[in-house]
Amino acid sequence: MSPPTQRTVPNASILVGLVLCVAGLAVAGYLTIEHFDSAVTLACPETGRINCQKVTTSQYSEVLGIPVALLGLGYFAIATALLLPSAWRSTDPLVRTARLAWVGLGVAMVIYLVWAEFYGVNAICLWCTTVHVITLLMFALVVFTEAWILPVPASR
């Protein structure tokens, strides 16, 4: 008997994953445009603890000279490819490993960025928080779907 050519994936997982990717692309795209275009202003308070401007212009707003917003845009573009229906249904273990590793990398970046906001900048960006929440939800979706809905078949 030959191995299956595709996996059965709940439509809800596919739909939620794509919605999260589109939302992530939209917010990260907005933050990227704001980073490169000074005429665009963040719709976020600039006083007190909530201060998007302070966060997005801080020393933590770039990693190795690359704007974090642009990294986020790239992250969600790759995540979209890994959460397309064809990728979910793929039986290639490399696709599954890449998807799990990618969302894990996203969570690691969120942990770093939340640390930077709370302890490095001493301000919170609401737009950034939206990206963080989307990333954490994507991580939960992928782990839940892979671990509980799509168990790994026993090897022969």
Domain boundaries, the chain: 12-149
User: Which pLDDT score, from 0 to 100, does residue 77 have?
Assistant: 98
Give start and end residues of each alpha helix (H) in 7-145.
11-36, 52-56, 68-82, 85-89, 93-115, 126-144
Q: What is the pLDDT of residues 2-34, one digit of tens each?
A: 566 677 888 899 999 999 999 999 999 999 998
Homologous superfamily (CATH) for 12-149: VKOR domain (1.20.1440.130)
Q: How confident is the model at residue 120 (pLDDT cuts 50, 70, 90)?
A: very high
Residues 103, 66: Cα–Cα separation, whole Å: 20
CA angle (48, 106, 76) in 5-degree steps:
95
Q: Does the structure show a pLDDT above 80 at 126? A: yes
Q: What pLDDT shows up at residue 48?
A: 80
Angle between helices 126-144 and 11-36 (to 10 degrees): 150
| pLDDT reading at 1 higher than 70 | no
- Cβ burial 95-107 (10 Å sphere, 16+ → b, else e): bbeebbebbeebb
Residue that wins the pLDDT comparison between 122 and 37:
122
Record the pTM. Answer: 0.89
pLDDT one-digit tens code per residue, 43-93 = 787 778 899 889 999 999 999 999 999 999 999 999 999 999 999 999 888
Per-residue pLDDT band for 100 (boundaries 50, 70, 90) equals very high
The mean-pLDDT minimum among 14-23, 44-53, 95-104, 112-121 falls in 44-53
DSSP three-state, residue 156: coil
